[in-house]
Amino acid sequence: MKFSERIRLARRNAGFSQAELARKVLVNRSAVSHWESLKGVQPSLGRLQAIAVATQVNFEWLATGRGEMRVGKAVLLDTVATAACTLVDEPLELRLVQAFREAPARARLSLVELAEELSRQRTGRRRVAA
């Protein structure tokens, strides 16, 4: 599904007209029209975050087409908070991020330290104290 189609689908599933979505994300209606056109422009990252919040869709799905379209309100807030981060396109990197997110909180530090240690073994770099 194309980027423009995901924006249109998110807007329609939220029950918004183009004008209503425009008001919610603080743009002109023509901007929404441009985003939804096949040869249109993509919104800025900030606008994309606002669209995800307004339509209550998963930011990653909206930006890339990956994952589930809909999310619960608690998950939505967490997803949008991370939206300013670099998107993960590499399948192995995505697996690592997912494993980290699914790990119990007490295991996360160990996972990071293990990854850092493996990285140092390959590169010979020393760990910088945080």
Which residue reads 């423009």 in tokens?
Answer: 4
Average pLDDT, stretch 71-97? 58
pTM listed for this prediction: 0.55
pLDDT of residue 34: 93
Collapse the DSSP code of 57 into the 3-class scheme (helix H, G, I; strand E, B; otherwise coil) and give the result: strand
Interatomic CA distance for residues 52 and 11, integer angstroms: 9
pLDDT at 117: 87
For the segment 25-51, the average pLDDT, to the nearest whole number, is: 90
**Is residue 73 predicted with pLDDT exceeding 90?**
no
For the chain, which residues make up each domain, given as ranges? 3-81, 91-123
Domain 3-81 CATH (choose: 1.10.260.40, 3.40.50.300, 3.40.50.2300, 1.10.15.40): 1.10.260.40
Does residue 27 have a pLDDT over 70? yes
What the block records as the tokens of 104 is: 């119990």
For the chain, the first-to-last Cα distance in angstroms comes to 42
